[in-house]
Amino acid sequence: MKTVLITGATSGIGLATAQLLAKNNCRLILCGRNTEKLAELQRDLSSKTDVTTLEFDIRDKKAVADKINGLASDFATIDVLINNAGNAHGLDPIQTGDLEDWDAMMDINVKGLLYVSHAVIPQMQERESGHIINIGSTAGKEVYPKGNVYCGSKHAVDAITTGMRLDLNPFKIRVGAVNPGLVHTNFSEVRFKGDSDRADKVYQGFQPLLPQDVADVILFAISRPAHVNIADLTMMCTAQASSTIVNKD
């Protein structure tokens, strides 16, 4: 049975992945900011597998290190790290972008991913075993109008994933990315700061990916034999051809 640490586990792709892995022979370390949601998730999934939770703000490098280093011994050996936490803030042209939004995206999507990885990689290196999946985005492959800093943060995830794979190769650590396009989660609601009408419109007139679709791919990646690494996988719904071309009714 693998022990899997998932960041951003209380919603969207992270939540769907936690629910799927709980049924597929994984013990779970679920990380997030919301204590109540984490407790509820732990209650829900504990009948299926061993679950522990870590509450931290991924922007707080000391909290990230302290919580991960303080894991109880039965959860301390992490086989799989799923760097899922991330979001978009705002959809503005670069000339009117909001500095707070830019900070949030760089701090969470890029630096947060680095802080968690920094805490987990040493034990994988020592064991010469481990698997890291970074959740990127089609926005890490292609820049779209007004995507500027969000796309920059996801391009950074793309580059960091490659960098990790190169540097961790001598230690037999698998590193890969799953890069989804439009997924129906609270992603747009966060991006548009709670404007649910605007968020809903993003997913109208076509069938977007569901968080479970991405979770299926993550399960596939982490259940391959030890000699197989899914290095870089981009997935979109059938209606989507690129960041700007979506076949809507």
Active-site annotation, residues: 150
The residue (of 45 and 91) whose beta carbon lies closer to ligand 8X3 is 91
Q: What is the dihedral of CA 199, 202, 205, 210, to 10 degrees?
A: -90
Q: Which stretch binds ligand 8X3 (CB under 6 A): 22-30, 48-56, 136-144, 165-173?
A: 136-144
Residues 229-248 that bind ligand 8X3 (CB under 6 A): 243
Closest Cα to residue 89, out of 8, 157, 30, 148?
148
Residue from 84, 138, 148, 153 binding ligand 8X3 (CB under 6 A): 138
The residue (of 104 and 119) whose beta carbon lies closer to ligand 8X3 is 104
**Tokens encoding 183:** 């997924």
Site string for ligand 8X3, 68-107 (x = CB under 6 A): ----------------------------------------
Residue from 182, 209, 215, 237 binding ligand 8X3 (CB under 6 A): 182
Would you report the helix, strand and coil content of the chain in percent, each value rounded to 5?
45, 15, 35
Residues 10-69 that bind ligand 8X3 (CB under 6 A): none
- Determine if 168 is a binding residue for ligand 8X3 (CB under 6 A): no
Residue 243: CB minimum distance to ligand 8X3, A:
5
Residue from 130, 181, 208, 211 binding ligand 8X3 (CB under 6 A): 181
Q: Which stretch binds ligand 8X3 (CB under 6 A): 40-48, 103-111, 181-189, 217-225?
A: 181-189
Residues that bind ligand 8X3 (CB under 6 A): 137-139, 181-182, 187, 243
